[in-house]
Amino acid sequence: MIDSFKSCFASQMEDFIQYKKALGYSRSSYEKFLALFDRFCLSAFPEERSLTQELVMQWARLRPNETANGLKRRMVAIREFGKYLNAIWIEGYVLPPEMLGPFKPFFPYLFSDEELTAFFTAADNMTPHKLSPYRQFVVPVLFRLLYCCGLRPHEVRLIRCADINLETGSVYISDTKVHHDRIVVMSSDMLSLCRQYDTKMRAIMKNREYFFSSPQGTVYSVAWVQEQFRKCWKKAGIQNFRGATTPRVYDFRYPYINKIRTFRQKPDNRRRFRAKGSDNIYRFIARTPQNMDKLPSALRHFLGVDLSLSSSSVAKAFASCSVVMSK
């Protein structure tokens, strides 16, 4: 959470965030972009007291090493802020919607068995650090839970001890992408691993709030998780990846069964993937896969499965991927 905004728009930006929260949006949806805009105003337009067109257009320039999607997210945030100002009778420039353009589709990185084996072997051999004395316990379990349960990175970071039932293996997930709570169920192997982890952490940190708790008793930051992700790949000796896509933490969510069902149910998604040459994905979804040796084994588990079944019926095949649960 940002400590405070400091520009002349500080109070209005805080009110805007509270307004969006009341509508069901997460604070993080806008806060980081407004914090960047706040610093931009202080450095580039310190005397400006209104959200002028000049100010907004300067902010809407593509930055070095910034992706088109990154720029669009910044523009969406400032456009919504401008609309909010107008709604409370404060003059402010609102970016025209046509300036935003469509999001450029992002194609996830699909890990091979060899890459998964190398990554999780590295995670299992993670050593403690003076600033992260428990990471040798956290990293192997956190990334496996991401992969095996199809969680989003922020969801796994925010799991509280009260949210996870180590008897049944159910995990309560709140504040999701569409602000709907849900429950996921771990495989028996994943549940066993979580029980072992919990026993170790209870001996170190009594009454911790978060399942993956930092030494300070708070959640681990996004940056910390990303850093451990990079360290695992470096430790695994893999720095050059197949194709033009670099893996992200989020890519452990693919190809989880819910995503596969989504691709199967939406012809536009299938056409887009096929048009981009992702033949392995398309053929798998169509259940006529080729080049089987290039597919991760987690995908192969589904080849004879009717994807119209509930995700809970099919998830067992995915969660049993041996290269992930080999610990």
Domain at 160, CATH number: 1.10.443.10
C-alpha 138/C-alpha 268 separation (Å) is 38
**Is 1 inside a domain boundary?**
no
**Is 58 inside a domain boundary?**
yes
**Do 202 and 300 reside in the same domain of the chain?**
yes
**Is 4 inside a domain boundary?**
no
**Do 33 and 156 reside in the same domain of the chain?**
no
**Do 263 and 147 reside in the same domain of the chain?**
yes
Q: Are 270 and 285 in contact (CB under 8 A)?
A: yes
What is the largest distance, in Å, between two alpha-carbon atoms of the chain? 65
Specify the 3-state DSSP secondary structure of 284.
Answer: helix
Predicted local distance difference test score (pLDDT) of residue 324: 59
**Is 202 inside a domain boundary?**
yes
Helices and strands, number each (H, E), in the chain: 14, 2
**Is 267 inside a domain boundary?**
yes
**Do 170 and 218 reside in the same domain of the chain?**
yes
**Do 173 and 260 reside in the same domain of the chain?**
yes
**Do 71 and 129 reside in the same domain of the chain?**
no
Task: List the one residue out of 127, 322, 84 whose CA is nearest residue 235.
Answer: 127
Of the residues 99, 130, 150, the one at which a domain ends: 99
**Do 70 and 175 reside in the same domain of the chain?**
no
Rounded (10°) angle between helices 135-149 and 311-319: 130
Determine if the peptide bond prior to 153 is cis (ω within 30°): no
**Do 69 and 153 reside in the same domain of the chain?**
no
The full length of the chain comes to: 327
Domain span at residue 218 reads 113-319
**Do 183 and 246 reside in the same domain of the chain?**
yes
**Do 26 and 85 reside in the same domain of the chain?**
yes
Note the pLDDT tens digit of each residue in 70-94.
888 899 999 999 999 999 999 999 9
Predicted local distance difference test score (pLDDT) of residue 314: 42
Q: Are 320 and 189 in contact (CB under 8 A)?
A: yes
Of the residues 77, 99, 121, the one at which a domain ends: 99
Q: Are 157 and 240 in contact (CB under 8 A)?
A: no
pTM: 0.63
Of the residues 57, 73, 99, the one at which a domain ends: 99
Predicted local distance difference test score (pLDDT) of residue 255: 56
* Digitized pLDDT (tens) for each residue of the chain, 327 residues in all: 456 899 999 999 999 999 988 887 878 788 989 999 999 999 999 989 999 999 999 999 988 888 888 888 899 999 999 999 999 999 999 999 888 877 666 677 888 888 889 999 999 999 999 999 999 999 999 999 999 888 989 899 999 999 999 999 999 988 666 567 888 989 899 999 999 999 999 999 989 999 999 999 999 998 999 999 999 999 999 888 876 678 889 988 875 544 444 444 444 444 444 334 343 343 333 333 444 444 455 455 444 444 443 344 444 444 444 455 555
Within 10 A of 5 (CB to CB), how many other CB atoms are there?
21
**Is 224 inside a domain boundary?**
yes
C-alpha 188/C-alpha 168 separation (Å) is 9
Within 10 A of 262 (CB to CB), how many other CB atoms are there?
12
Q: Are 219 and 186 in contact (CB under 8 A)?
A: no
**Is 152 inside a domain boundary?**
yes
Work out how many domains the chain is built from and give that number: 2
**Is 239 inside a domain boundary?**
yes
**Do 95 and 134 reside in the same domain of the chain?**
no
Placement of tokens 């067992």 in the chain: 316
**C-alpha separations of 223 from 201, 227, 229 in Å:** 22, 6, 10
C-alpha 126/C-alpha 137 separation (Å) is 8
